């Protein structure tokens, strides 16, 4: 009887621990989130902004480039395919980053939706910080417009995560990321 109770306790404990684990979506030092990136800049609409994703010598992900307002431009972004990740039940995203003082966005896209769900975060120039982005702060947006009457974000349908800079912040930008965690 003691063995059965012990096995039951271990099983329940394992389920609880597994359910409450954090999910790294980006962690280059563990080779997580380093592949399957796509660059999407304003050149799709005639702009001339540019960006790239790279892994630096400190094993951090770097999103960098130049944001131009010429030719009605003004955004640069990079998308990571996370369709194999289960982020259902996540309450917030934690990002450890060093920036340039610019405002950035973390965006989530779903398979079946035109809009993405976006949350802004502010970097500090040349300073490592940790930001927490609660799920309830993500708002549906499309091409710079916010939607008020749009379906709620369905985490089980999210297939990509993106880093985005816009909002008329012309010039060079550099965002260094040690990790992005989805947390319960």
Q: Can you spell out the DSSP letters for 113-179? A: -SSEEEEEEE--BT-EEEEEEEGGG-EEEETTEE-SS-PPP-GGGEEEEEEEE-TT--EEEEEEEEE
Domains and CATH numbers, the chain: 23-183 (2.60.120.430)
| pLDDT at residue 129 in the model | 98
Tokens of residue 49, six digits: 């902004």
Positive or negative, the CA dihedral 42, 43, 48, 50 is positive
Query: Using an 8 Å Cβ cutoff, are 73 and 42 in contact?
Result: yes
72: number of Cβ within 10 Å = 9
* DSSP-derived 3-state class of residue 69: coil
| pLDDT at residue 20 in the model | 46
* DSSP-derived 3-state class of residue 17: helix
Give residue 124's Cα distance to chain centre: 18
Reading the chain (184 residues) residue by residue, the pLDDT tens digits are 665 554 444 444 444 434 445 999 999 999 999 999 999 999 988 999 999 999 999 999 999 999 999 998 999 999 999 999 999 999 999 999 999 999 999 999 998 788 999 999 999 999 999 999 999 999 999 877 788 888 889 999 999 999 999 999 999 999 999 999 999 9
Q: Smallest Cα–Cα separation from 77: which of 51, 109, 97?
A: 51
Angle formed at CA 21 by CA 17 and CA 24, multiple of 5 degrees: 160
């Amino acid at each position: 009887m003691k063995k059965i109770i012990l096995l039951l306790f271990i099983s329940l404990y394992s389920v609880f621990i597994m359910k409450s684990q954090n999910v790294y979506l980006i962690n280059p030092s563990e080779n997580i989130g380093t592949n399957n990136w796509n660059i999407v800049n304003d050149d799709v609409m005639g702009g001339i902004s540019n960006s790239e994703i790279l892994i630096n010598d400190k094993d951090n992900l770097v999103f960098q480039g130049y944001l131009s307002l010429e030719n009605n431009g003004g955004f640069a972004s990079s998308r990571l395919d996370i369709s194999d990740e289960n982020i259902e039940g996540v309450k917030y995203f934690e990002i450890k980053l060093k920036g340039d003082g610019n405002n950035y966005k973390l965006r989530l896209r779903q398979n079946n939706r035109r809009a993405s769900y976006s949350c802004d975060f502010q970097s500090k120039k040349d300073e490592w910080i940790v930001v927490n982005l609660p799920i309830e702060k993500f708002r549906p947006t499309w091409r710079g417009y916010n939607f008020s009457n749009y379906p709620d974000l369905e985490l089980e349908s999210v297939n990509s995560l993106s880093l985005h800079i816009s909002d008329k912040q012309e010039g060079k930008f550099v965002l260094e990321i040690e990790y992005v965690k989805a947390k319960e």
